[in-house]
Amino acid sequence: MTSDKKNIALLADIFIKKGLSDIVISPGSRNAPIILTLTNLKEIRALSVVDERSAAFFALGMAQQKGEAVAVSCTSGSAVLNYAPAIAEAYYQKIPLLVFTADRPPELIDKGDGQTIRQKNVFANFVKAGFELPVKIDDSNYEATVKTINEAIDLTQFPDAGPVHINIPFREPLYNTTEESIEGRAFDTQKPLLPPEEEKLIALAELWKESCKVMLLAGQMNVNPALNELLRGLSDRADTVVLTETTSNLHGEKFVDCIDNVVSTFGEPEAFRPGLLITFGGQVVSKMVKKLLRAHKPDAHWHISPSGEEMDTYFSLTETVSASPEAFFEALLPRLAKAKEGFAGLWQRKLQKIRASRKALLQQLPYSDLQVFDFLLKAIPPTTLHLANSTPVRYSQLFGHLQKFVYRSNRGVSGIDGQVSTAAGAAFASDKTHTLITGDLGFFYDSNALMNHHLTPNLKIIVINNGGGGIFRFIEGPASTPQLEQFFEASHNWKAEHIARAFGIAYFHADSPEQLQQALPDFYGNDFEKPALLEIFTPVEVNARVLRNYFLHLKGLAKD
């Protein structure tokens, strides 16, 4: 039994034939045909999450883990707009989402009908494409609709992943059902990626040879063993330095994986300027490296991307290559001449000096955010580590990549909205442990994430509560204004305990190193039916001072 609306029946049939299985639905009436159809199909796992904003981020977390499109569906009107933050994040982070929005029929738009807005193309600025299905499916539009649905689903994955919107108008009555089915066809609408162009490979190999100072800079990426091995080989070249971040999920002994630590020590930055910059992956967290490369521009900047997007982060882009990074570097390697210069040595000497100095410095820290992060990153067992915006993900960059973690963070748009929901969705779609480290405001902002019947015990939430937006004490502008505490930092004395208990979440707390050490083993215990939450209280005034002194100490290395 299914809805008698053929547009959603056809979409559901092709959805299944494309191998997709998951949809997150928020309750409503206009989307009744979607609910009646998709929840009655044994091939589909339908989940109900009430809050649309949280539901979309939950689906984003699922898609992040599964590597395939997860659908979200809501009723019409303002419910649709609540999807926007997660869709924007999915677009810039390249996460495959299929967005099904129920709508009024065209004749009711802008006619004063309830719960009605202009939904067609409403997400135009942050989806790969937007489509609208016909209200009625008949012989005149059947083939075109089948093609549209196939194209929409394929676009969530190729050439880069991302969100796609399908608006589905329904006429009343909405709750009629039928035993009849409508068949669709599944077929590929995307052409395969071509190998890197020979001419570009030859040109870059010559440019590499001429520059003698090559920097490879990785942004946010999924785990990619093939690319990791290629970059390890390149990091052995005397003319090449490989810069990564924790969110790049790349590791190598010679990788500069704590960029801010190294860049903060530069007395004469021009010496560290690359002649050739090659970038790949998504957004880069480090503001210091952005400032460095924008002030000391490379002679040439190539960006590698399957979709060929022109990501000119450093305002120096000279060439874009449409290819996956691993395919590109694999094709390029045999063409590279033997390295003669020692650009990598400049960076390596800084890196080794910092690693030795930082160890002693961290042992002397007072109780603060930085000390807490040092302890947590050492003590947390192997996990997928979700780093919230803005302070947690920045702190993690100071410690470099740890192989026991797979790093995740919503760095597409870098907002604080939805980070708990994203981690919850990722944990639901995985049988491994997932740990979220978030600040207090990020947690409170997304506390509706706990209003969810699909929370799983493999999710561990760590809230570092320093009484407000601690990042603003580190930023030069807000830190010196009289409005800091009320309007930038949003100072408060809220606690997460009662929110956790309201939703049946196991709660732990710590406000000293000793309490933290005692709490962590039980927090990671296996006897919970739902997630566990650990709230760590830190002193806000001390946090800012400790972090400033940390960088002052590193900067002193430039004088040695």
Tell me: the pLDDT tens digits for 77-129?
999 999 999 999 999 999 999 999 999 999 988 888 888 889 999 999 999 99
- Mean pLDDT, residues 312-325: 96
At residue 378, the pLDDT reads: 96
250 has a pLDDT exceeding 60: yes
Rounded CA-CA distance 175/241 in Å is: 62
- Mean pLDDT, residues 255-276: 94
109 exposure class (CB count in 10 Å sphere: 0-12, 13-18, 19+) = middle
At residue 358, the pLDDT reads: 84
- Mean pLDDT, residues 445-458: 97
Class in CATH terms, 198-351? alpha beta
- Mean pLDDT, residues 378-393: 96
- Mean pLDDT, residues 498-519: 96
Same topology for domains 2-178 and 365-551, yes or no?
yes
474 has a pLDDT exceeding 60: no
At residue 465, the pLDDT reads: 96
At residue 192, the pLDDT reads: 81
Residue 277 phi/psi, 5-degree rounding, is -110, 130
Choose the weakest-confidence range: 102-116, 295-309, 477-491. 477-491
- Residue 196 is which amino acid? P
Q: Which fold, 365-551?
A: Rossmann fold (3.40.50)
CA contacts within 13 A on the Cβ side of 283: 16
% of the chain with per-residue pLDDT over 90: 83
Longest CA span, the chain: 80
Structure-token pair, residue 21: 């299985």
CA-based torsion, 467, 469, 475, 476: positive or negative: negative
At residue 541, the pLDDT reads: 84
Short-list 501, 410, 450, 530, CA closest to 51: 450
- Mean pLDDT, residues 345-355: 91
Question: What's the pLDDT tens digit per position in 34-90?
Answer: 999 999 999 999 999 999 999 999 999 999 999 999 999 999 999 999 999 999 999
Residue 545 makes CB contacts below 8 A (sequence gap 6+) with: none
Q: Could you tell me the residue ranges of all domains in the chain?
A: 2-178, 198-351, 365-551
At residue 487, the pLDDT reads: 46
- Mean pLDDT, residues 338-366: 88
Start-to-end CA distance of the chain, whole Å, equals 76
Helix (H, G, I), strand (E, B), or coil: what is residue 452? coil
Choose the weakest-confidence range: 345-359, 440-454, 478-492. 478-492
- Mean pLDDT, residues 202-216: 94
Rounded CA-CA distance 140/148 in Å is: 14
At residue 116, the pLDDT reads: 83
At residue 276, the pLDDT reads: 97
To the question of domain 2-178 being in CATH 3.40.50.970, the answer is yes
- Mean pLDDT, residues 209-238: 96
Rounded CA-CA distance 207/299 in Å is: 10
At residue 204, the pLDDT reads: 94
Residue 89 phi/psi, 5-degree rounding, is -60, -45
Question: What's the pLDDT tens digit per position in 386-440?
Answer: 999 989 999 999 999 999 999 999 999 999 999 999 999 999 999 999 999 999 9
At residue 490, the pLDDT reads: 64
Confidence of residue 481 (pLDDT cuts 50, 70, 90): low
Mean pLDDT in the chain? Answer: 93
Strand pairing report for 177-178 and 2-3: antiparallel
- Mean pLDDT, residues 546-551: 91
- Mean pLDDT, residues 299-313: 95
